[in-house]
Amino acid sequence: MAEAMIGGFLSKRLARPDEIMASEVSASRRKHLRRQLGIQTVALGGPVVEHARTIILAVKPQDLGPALEQLSGQIGRRHLVISIAAGRKIEWLQDALPDARIARVMPNLACVVGESMSAYAMGARTRPSDGKTTERLLRSCGEVIELPEEEFDAVTALSGSGPAFYAYFTQQLIEAAVSEGLSRDTALILARQTMLGTGAVLKKQDADLSDFIDAVSSAKGTTAAGMQVLNQSSIPAIVRKTIRAAARRSRELSEE
């Protein structure tokens, strides 16, 4: 995720490669980042904190505590700290970094192609300019929305985990089409482009979903026949259980 975000910053010319420094414990990853992005890389976070005013925490939630223990005395009021660690609340981050200005962000994997959906919330110690900086950085990777932090568990379930859920449903469409006689390669091409095209239409036209479904479903046609099965199925309940489980896990992460 961090590599994808850096790629967005560079492609939108928000920073030059020599203005970005990444801390990475893996020597092979440091070499990869230098080769692919041209940025500076270091093994430990100290040099990053020393040189940067904006710091992005892009580590797993369980690794965040040990990482910040090494840096807490070095991160201060001059730093805007943007965390993308799932489940780690602003309060937790402010306890770990009592002098820093904190922003919490939930991006998603589509960042790798510049189509991320990122939500962010600002801590109490931030300045108005910090929100503008956070949004400008995130917008280089896709769409951005500011939301209250109390909504982040649902955000994590929907847009954070959502790409896997969309891919799963697409996978089921492919398997069903194969059972109807399509080759797997053909079904993959059709399903993938159909998902992409549907998203593009919904975004461009800002369409109401029910109206969109009705527009595709001509009376007594093929779509109507399929929608009748969906409407009579347990899919709505399954989807609610899916989102509820992901949101519950997000809340659990904040307590671990």
User: Residues 202-233: pLDDT tens digits?
Assistant: 999 988 999 999 999 998 999 999 999 999 99
pLDDT tens digits, 17-58: 999 999 999 999 999 999 999 999 999 889 999 999 999 999
Instruction: Say how far apart CA 53 and CA 196 lie, in whole Å.
Output: 38
Of 149, 176, 208, which one is at a domain's C-terminal end?
A: 149
Alpha-helical regions (H) of the chain: 2-11, 27-37, 46-51, 61-71, 90-96, 128-139, 152-155, 162-179, 184-205, 209-216, 222-231, 235-255
Instruction: Calculate mean pLDDT across residues 104-112.
Output: 93
The reply to whether 251 falls in a domain is yes
The range of the structural domain enclosing residue 184 comes to 162-255
pLDDT at site 145: 97
Same domain, 175 and 243: yes
> Could you tell me which of 133, 140, 91, 87 has the C-alpha nearest to residue 118?
140
Does any domain span residue 155?
Answer: no
pLDDT of residue 207: 80
* Residue in the block written with tokens 């409407």: 231
| pTM for the predicted model, two decimal places | 0.88
Residue at which a domain ends, from 115, 149, 183? 149
Helices (H), 75-183: 90-96, 128-139, 152-155, 162-179
204 φ, ψ to 5°?
Answer: -70, -40
67 has a pLDDT exceeding 90: no
Asked whether residue 103 is domain-assigned, the answer is yes
Residue pair 97/64 in contact by the 8 Å Cβ criterion: no
What letter would DSSP give residue 200? H
Question: Total domain count for the chain?
Answer: 2
Count other C-beta atoms under 10 Å from residue 166's C-beta: 12
**pLDDT score, position 102:** 97
pLDDT confidence band for 73 (50 / 70 / 90): confident
The answer to the question of residue 85 being in a domain is yes
Verify that 72 and 10 share a domain, yes or no.
yes
Average pLDDT estimate for 149-164: 95
CB atoms within 10 A of CB 129: 10
Look at residues 90, 89, 15, 4 and name the one whose alpha carbon lies nearest to residue 53.
15
Residue 71 above 90 pLDDT? no
Q: Which amino acid is at 177?
A: A
pLDDT above 80: residue 107: yes
Q: What is the mean pLDDT of residues 4-19?
A: 92
Kindly state whether residues 142 and 166 are assigned to the same domain. no
Output the pLDDT for position 232: 95
- Percent of the chain residues topping a pLDDT of 90: 82
CB-CB contact of 75 with 52 (8 Å): no
Question: Which residue, among 140, 135, 132, 146, has the nearest Cα to 116 in the 3D structure?
Answer: 140
pLDDT at 256 over 80: no
Q: Say whether both 111 and 33 belong to one domain.
A: yes
The answer to whether residues 9 and 135 belong to one domain is yes
Residues 48 and 115 in one domain: yes
CATH number of the CATH domain containing 116: 3.40.50.720
DSSP state of 159: I
Give how far Cα 227 sits from Cα of 89, 206, 214, 217, 220, Å. 40, 22, 10, 8, 11
The amino acid at residue 94 is: Q
From 149, 181, 204, the end of a domain falls on 149
Residue 147: phi and psi, rounded to 5, are -140, 155
Rg, Å, the chain Cα set: 21
Question: Whole-angstrom Cα distance, residue 141 to residue 163?
Answer: 15
The answer to whether position 72 is within a domain reads yes
Mean pLDDT, the chain, integer: 93
